[in-house]
Amino acid sequence: MRILLLSGFFVIILAASCRENKRNAVEQDASEATMASETGIDAPLPADVLFATRPLIGGELYAKPDFQSPSLTSFDTSQSIHVLDSTHAIFVHARIRKDTAVLTGYVPKTILPEKNY
């Protein structure tokens, strides 16, 4: 009986410490974004993003670099577009956050502000 109580106590202590570590990790990860939003500077971009921009006009995020491919979502000028690759002649590989989803596809270069791709 004593061993059962000690092992139960050990499990409770272990679970509580793991939960506390997870909470600290989330707080540390969000600290840069929180600090950026409070100071008015942009949050740091993920490592795979070349740059972030806003489109000049609304448009479509395509599944493939082709105007005939299915549209994943539409976007407007208020959306931030993360450019992942710009080596294609007409399209950039891009990531867009729409509501709670993060979508990756292709956006025509012509609707983005002029930049040396």
What is the residue extent of each domain of the chain?
A: 1-40, 51-111
Segment-wise mean pLDDT, segments of 10 residues, the chain, 117 residues: 61 61 47 56 78 91 95 92 91 91 93 78
* Predicted pLDDT at 21: 47
Beta strands in 14-80 (DSSP E): 51-53, 59-62, 71-75
The pLDDT score that the predictor gives to residue 114 is 82
State how far the Cα of 87 lies from the Cα of 51, in Å rounded to an integer. 14
CATH topology of domain 51-111: SH3 type barrels. (2.30.30)
Tokens 């272990």, located at residue: 14
